[in-house]
Amino acid sequence: MKILKLTAANDRILRKKCRRLTKTEIMSAKVQSLIDDIKYTCDKKKMGVGLSANQVGESIAISVIAIKPTPGRPNLEVFDKVCINTEIIETFGKKQPMWEGCQSTVVDENGQPAMAKVPRFTKIRIKYLDRNGDEQDEIIEGFVAHVIQHETDHLNGVLFTDLINEVDLVSYKEFARQSKLLTNNVHKEK
């Protein structure tokens, strides 16, 4: 396995709708190896909780959700899922803003993602194929739902910066500072 190079923000591949895959394509050695490399890349990167194939230069509808504790979100629970040909079938409730960033779109001078509060649904129903090509239908909630919506947007050529005003972007350092303040205030209230 290898760490894959991330696609630059101005690369047109990020604006194209990704090609859906057949079960035969999914089971090919090439696609299985790509999934392993995307997972490995996510595991080795300090930042980031998901990565789609177009973010590593392949315009095919694969997303790896690889949630782990990060410096700005130290309390995240580990969650791993491979979603192929993902479709959001149903949404529940109102959208709620949550911090997010993207390693492929806006990064600061230290290579860290810029962050913004992006409104997304806190509960969604998705259909997708897993890495074995088997169809899945699930209801996902919370932070995982937020990440899946971000990665599904990638598959459709949509970037998180399309959903916000650019003036709302903050540096990762500022996000971490605000997150720490929020976490400290929550602990003080208990």
**pLDDT tens for each residue of 31-66:** 999 999 999 999 888 778 999 999 999 999 999 999
Domain annotation covers residue 4: no
What's the structural domain count of the chain?
A: 1
Domain annotation covers residue 3: no
Kindly report which listed range (84-93, 108-117, 179-188) carries the lowest average pLDDT score.
179-188
Domain annotation covers residue 9: no
- Res 182: pLDDT: 56
The DSSP line for 88-131 is EEEEEEEEEEEEEE-TTT-B-TTSPBPEEEEEEEEEEEEEEE-T
The three-class DSSP label of residue 82 is strand
Element (H, E) at 34: helix 29-44
Mean pLDDT across the stretch 58-80? 91
The three-class DSSP label of residue 137 is strand
Q: Of the residues 151, 166, 174, 189, which is catalytic?
A: 151
- Res 112: pLDDT: 78
Residue-range definition of the domain harbouring residue 23: 16-189
Amino acid at 7: T
**pLDDT tens for each residue of 105-156:** 777 777 778 899 999 999 999 999 999 999 999 999 999 999 999 999 999 9
Domain annotation covers residue 84: yes
Domain annotation covers residue 30: yes
Domain annotation covers residue 81: yes
Q: What is the CATH number of the domain that holds 122?
A: 3.90.45.10
> Has residue 185 got a pLDDT over 60?
no
* Entry pTM: 0.91
Element (H, E) at 27: none
Express as a percent the part of the chain with pLDDT over 90. Answer: 72
189 is catalytic: no
- Res 171: pLDDT: 87
Closest CA to 122 of 152, 101, 97: 97
